[in-house]
């Protein structure tokens, strides 16, 4: 059975069918790219799968159970985690705190533990600090750890968002345009990190508008057009497909 599957999804906004009978399965360990013209329904697909919006029709199955419409935090606790197209870190907080506070089960939220400063709380705090520092180093943000996030470049924000997401220790990582607004060097770095996470067993699904980086990175490309899957296959085959060329050149939206 697939790790993650959408079956017959439909999502309308007013009269507009953003997702129009879409089915897609992701196997454990895959590295999949989702592409398609602006407005094709890529972000809405992610929103339906991760509980940000509830589909009008169809089901989402994750790790053996139906999770259609389950809230994002419940799915995140089960290992299904996504990023957003626009970054959501708190600009008036430091980079380090942004990463630390992304951890689930913040000790401070458990009031009794916090009041008593129990040993378990101190252990959790220490683990969170250590993991946050590791991620800051991995994403070359350690020299910016004490800066306010608002001072970061667009590319550095993407790295911060990825670091925050990884604090949740996902099994499935869904990235919405992780390379948008990122310079070529950082794009290469992010792609390298994604490749490594996948090599270590994480299932990754990436939406991207720009094709070049993605095509080199993924094992499989899914092309959406007008809320449906247009083509699904190996990157070289997909990019050579006349329907894909037409969808991009013809606008497709």
Distance CA 137, CA 145 (A): 9
Q: Which of 43, 149, 156, 165 binds ligand ADP (CB under 6 A)?
A: 43
Site string for Mg ion, 27-46 (x = CB under 5 A): ---------------xx---
Q: From the list ligand ADP, Mg ion, none, which binds 41 (C-beta under 5 to 8 Å, kind-based)?
A: ligand ADP
Measured from the CB atom, the residue of 16 and 116 that comes closer to ligand ADP is: 16
Q: Verify binding: residue 56, ligand ADP, rule CB under 6 A.
A: no
Measured from the CB atom, the residue of 125 and 176 that comes closer to ligand ADP is: 176
Measured from the CB atom, the residue of 41 and 170 that comes closer to Mg ion is: 41
Measured from the CB atom, the residue of 42 and 164 that comes closer to Mg ion is: 42
Q: Which of residues 6-25 bind ligand ADP (CB under 6 A)?
A: 13, 16, 18
List of residues contacting ligand ADP (CB under 6 A): 13, 16, 18, 36, 38-44
């Amino acid at each position: 059975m697939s790790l993650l599957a959408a079956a017959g999804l439909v999502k309308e906004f007013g009269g507009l069918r953003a997702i129009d009978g879409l089915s897609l399965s992701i196997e454990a360990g895959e590295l999949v790219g989702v592409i398609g013209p602006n407005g094709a329904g890529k972000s809405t697909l992610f929103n339906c799968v991760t509980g940000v919006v509830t589909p009008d029709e169809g089901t989402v199955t994750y790790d053996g159970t139906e999770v259609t419409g389950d809230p994002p935090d419940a799915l995140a606790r089960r290992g299904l985690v996504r990023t957003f197209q626009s970054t959501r870190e708190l600009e008036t907080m430091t980079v380090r705190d942004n990463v630390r506070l992304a951890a689930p089960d913040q000790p401070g939220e458990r009031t009794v533990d916090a009041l008593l400063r129990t040993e378990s709380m101190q252990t959790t705090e220490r683990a969170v600090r250590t993991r946050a520092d590791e991620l800051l180093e991995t994403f070359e943000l350690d020299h910016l750890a004490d800066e306010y996030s608002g001072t970061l470049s667009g590319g550095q924000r993407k790295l911060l968002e990825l670091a925050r997401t990884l604090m949740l220790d996902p099994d499935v990582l869904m990235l919405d345009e992780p390379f948008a607004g990122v310079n070529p060097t950082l794009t290469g770095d992010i792609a390298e990190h994604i490749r490594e996470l996948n090599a270590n067993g994480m299932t990754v699904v990436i939406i991207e508008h720009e094709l070049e980086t993605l095509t080199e990175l993924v094992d499989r490309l899914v092309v959406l057009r007008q809320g449906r899957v247009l083509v699904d296959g190996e990157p070289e085959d997909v990019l050579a497909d006349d329907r894909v060329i037409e969808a991009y050149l013809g606008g497709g939206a």
